[in-house]
Amino acid sequence: MALTVGDPSGVGPEIALAAWNCRKELGIPAFYLLADPALVAARGHRVGTNVPIVETTPKEASTAFGVGLPVVPLSAKFKDMPGRPDPANAEGVIEAIDRAVADSFAGRAAGIVTCPIAKKPLYDAGFGFPGHTEYLAHLAARHTGEMAMPVMLLAGPELRTVPVTIHIPLAAAPQALTTDLIVETARITARDLEARFGIEVPRLAIAGLNPHAGEDGSMGMEDLEIVAPAVRLLQAEGIDARGPLPADTLFHKRARTSYDVALCMYHDQALIPAKTLAFDEAVNVTLGLPFIRTSPDHGTAFDIAGKGIARPDSLIAALKLAAELATNSRSAAA
């Protein structure tokens, strides 16, 4: 499994070290870190860990994993400044992502796990994509010739959620929401839940946009005119979808047993319940790409970087889930 270091001024280097330290007792699958070995070693010294660093190649990483944290060196070097992001590190951040995707397509990695990046230092260095996921979709298109539509899935032990509209202002969500967008998001979700999560017939709960799913139009017409037609189209295609459902009753324990994923109409409608139920264990999974990609469901945590207190729980969950999805995908393809 290829692990990208993310923004080196964040907690990525130290949670990678902490994850390797837990490998035996928690059964963490083998992975290698794409990073500047000198920075990783310096961060380990700073946070007081004695994890040995083994410079290696993707091919030899599995053997090296039993000896130390396998680090596949980048051409770029990093400035080691915990908590202080610097555009000078952008080249290495992007190189790590590029090489992880190349390794996946070449069969050198079963999947990709990405540590968090910060957008502003990348933008300051000339990065031309809205974010991590959009760049991954661009790289996938470069390799395949086809543009993929990435879908964000938040996966925790008790709940999976998908936001149909994502990083836009709340006021813009109703305008961005369309029947076609809901249908395509649901198709990709259902397909990948079957192929990668091993769910034979995925059950999709489709949340309404408005309170009480609009109360038959008394609290907004979007649920009648946009969401409900999408549900009917999905049902006509044989997808097990139901809705629009009131979001305020969609996430309690009994309700969660009735579906495999909840499709939500805007960012916070999906992420608040997911993070409330499993803040340290939730994993961000990107569906719709021709390779497996997971990520910890937290940010760079600049405020605690270099202090040795960052918890690796979400990264560990991301590594384990990526390995599970890779196994399921191989079984589905066989």
Hey, do 1-148+289-334 and 158-277 end up sharing a CATH topology, with the first three levels equal? yes
Would you say 132 is a known binding-site residue? yes
Could you tell me which of 8, 23, 43 has the C-alpha nearest to residue 53?
43
Question: Is 45 annotated as ligand-binding?
Answer: no
133 labelled binding-site residue: yes
pLDDT of residue 236: 98
State the pTM of this model: 0.92
Q: Calculate ∠ Cα 139-173-261, nearest 5°.
A: 70
| DSSP notation for 12-75 | HHHHHHHHHHTHHHHTPPP-EEEE-HHHHHHHHHHHT--PPEEE--TTTHHHHTTTSEEEEE-S
Residue 4: name the closest of 325, 296, 317, 320 by CA. 296
Beta bridge partners of 55: 71
143 annotated to bind ligand:
no
- CATH superfamily of domain region 158-277: Isopropylmalate Dehydrogenase (3.40.718.10)
* Helix and strand numbers, DSSP H then E, in the chain: 14, 12
**CA Rg value for the chain:** 20
Q: Is 89 annotated as a binding residue?
A: no
What is the reported pLDDT for 334? 61
Q: What is the pLDDT along the chain (334 residues), one digit of tens a residue?
A: 999 999 999 999 999 999 999 999 999 999 999 999 999 999 999 999 989 999 999 999 999 999 999 999 999 999 889 999 999 999 999 999 999 999 999 999 999 999 999 999 999 999 998 889 899 999 999 999 988 899 999 999 999 999 999 888 999 999 999 999 999 999 999 999 999 999 999 999 999 999 999 888 888 999 999 999 999 999 999 999 999 999 999 999 999 999 999 999 999 999 999 999 988 889 999 999 999 999 998 999 999 999 999 999 999 999 999 999 999 988 776 6
What is the C-alpha separation between 114 and 116, in angstroms, rounded? 6
Strands 293-296 and 283-287: antiparallel
Q: What pLDDT score was predicted for residue 295?
A: 96
pLDDT at 330: 80
Q: Where are the beta strands (DSSP E) in the chain?
A: 2-4, 32-35, 53-55, 69-73, 112-114, 151-155, 160-163, 203-207, 240-245, 261-264, 283-287, 293-296
50 is in an annotated binding site: no
- The residues spanned by each domain of the chain are 1-148+289-334, 158-277
Cα-to-chain-centroid distance, residue 230: 25
Q: How far apart are CA 296 and CA 113, in angstroms?
A: 8
Strand partners of residue 153: 285
CATH number of 1-148+289-334: 3.40.718.10
